[in-house]
Amino acid sequence: MPEARHLTLLEVDAASAARLREEFAGRTEAVVHGGGTHMPFADGRFDSVVCFTMLHHVPTPAAQDRLFAEAHRVLRPGGVFAGCDALSSVRFRLIHIGDTCVPVPPATLGERLRAAGFAKAEVTVGEGRVRFRAE
């Protein structure tokens, strides 16, 4: 995959966004404090949207679906939405005791991405993770 020429980071936690601003100073276009379910970006602004190991932190399936629809809205036509997350397991749930943990079931992820507006969605499972690519 080619390296991105411009990168915008979206982070819902204010302290984490401040840390990322320091860590990525000069290496990203912007670190934006905001949530994936209401992205503070114009329609069609991005070529691609990616999210890694964060969907399970979005507290309900309905909110996750809203995030998928937002990813579709901010992508240019033909843009790609891709990412991965951990599969549900006893160990994963144990390490999230007291924290939000709503793993995304792989069996229904493809249809949820299509319902959010993506024409194509590929979902694969392996090594304890679900990976997806939608466009």
- Rounded to the nearest 5 percent, the helix, strand and coil shares of the chain are 30, 30, 40
* CB nearer ligand SAM, residue 60 or residue 108: 60
Q: What residues are paired with 84 via a beta bridge?
A: 52, 131
Measured between alpha carbons, how far is 21 from 127 in angstroms, rounded to an integer? 31
SS3 97: coil
Interaction pattern, residues 24-63, with ligand SAM; x per rule: CB under 6 A? -----------xxx--------------xxx--xx-----
Q: Which letter does DSSP use for residue 41 in this model? A: S
Residue 111: both structure tokens together? 């249809």
The distance of closest approach from Cβ of residue 2 to ligand SAM in the complex, given in angstroms and rounded to an integer, is: 20
- Report phi then psi at 112, rounded to 5: -65, -40
Smallest gap from residue 135 Cβ to ligand SAM (A): 21
Instruction: Tell me how far apart the alpha carbons of residues 17 and 31 are, in angstroms, rounded to a whole number.
Output: 6
Q: Closer CB to ligand SAM, residue 23 or residue 120?
A: 23
Rank residues 63 and 135 by Cβ distance to ligand SAM and give the closer one: 63
Residue of 7, 9, 12, 82 interacting with ligand SAM (CB under 6 A): 12
| Residue 13 in the binding site for ligand SAM (CB under 6 A) | yes
Residues that bind ligand SAM (CB under 6 A): 10-13, 16, 35-37, 52-54, 57-58
